[in-house]
Structure 1
């Protein structure tokens, strides 16, 4: 019956049972009104939580257990509701195919192709799951000997936030997929440490041509050098570089002239 208990927990969290009881005990009808759930079906859900030790029922009033009050009701500190939402909405459905995966030795193709809502659920769920590890790493390693941190596949930036919170002199860079970065930007904007997590810069130095593909003159001439010695090389225009940057999630900032015909295109991680 473990899968039933898990699903009961997911639903109770999703409909707001623990959150609505954060301010104190409620009778069934009051809790039903607060959550917008019919009393009959809410009783089924709430009584299941009582049997699992996450709610208590005293004098016909439901109240959060100590664990639910600490981790599922929105209290300051670790909030496990995003993790439950991730397990329910994204992870749980895939486990229906466990037998097929075991028999065939293949996982679920395309799992990480999220839409915007699913990406939010995934990223915040993983952050909630890994929050204890982020705090432990920030405390357990002396980051004070460093000046900059690059967090590759760093999710929403929760590890960087935990580390920078303890080390005021550090700056960090988060390197992630574009969809995750969209969630991370919103997350970092809410934290003072977010101002110290700067975007990576990309500098492309070449004889970048203008739109006419004739200026600077050395650039089209050099195309012959590439043709002769490389076979498939050529000179490129600035607008071609702009397209590459857009396709690979970089945001162009500017192009600056250097010495002679060379110039540098400066881009920032989008």
Structure 2
């Protein structure tokens, strides 16, 4: 597969690059100590990948590719989220496209320094390696769900028509509206976004700008965005179990993405 192409476009709205949100700006988790990830780590085409399969019968020609936030596979929240997708009936793959160097969830706020070694040149090859391997194994339809940092790569895969459908939540590192202008110009992949009212990255105002590009039927393949109020960045991955607003938002984001994927898979 070819590497992702660069694209520049004059837009009415000034383009804004969404910054990666510092670790302290992510929603905090209160995972039950009894919660144990059900999947297993496998090496797929040289890339460590967390694989979670449905317990019931499933379609082996369809898969969900889960693109994690900056905390990667060491974060139990990401693994349990992959398990949720498997429980919904999809073979789910979460590749370590961070190359064994995820950001510690309890580390210092050094995401800017970390990003230097985690640009698209470093993270794209392992991602494409897993996709290529899945297709060789007979997977014909890949639905991607990306969270935070993973939202950028979901967008790239949509732009290049590499996947069948793409969803994301509180994306970071995107250029708005330029990246979505590119989606509109050359993609035929349906796209869905869950955003947070209190996000300091993909803010509600940037979400409205995105609607201006893809909404109101402008993007024929399919576009949907849902905002969740009272929550911030990372809400679709982590929630405080004692906060009903956070719990409902996390579940709502999952349900919205699941419904969108089911609607648009052939």
Q: TM-score, normalised to structure 1's length? A: 0.26
Q: TM-score, normalised to structure 2's length? A: 0.26
Q: Which has the higher contact order (CA 8 A, sep 6+)?
A: 2
The structure with more helix, counted as a fraction of residues: 1
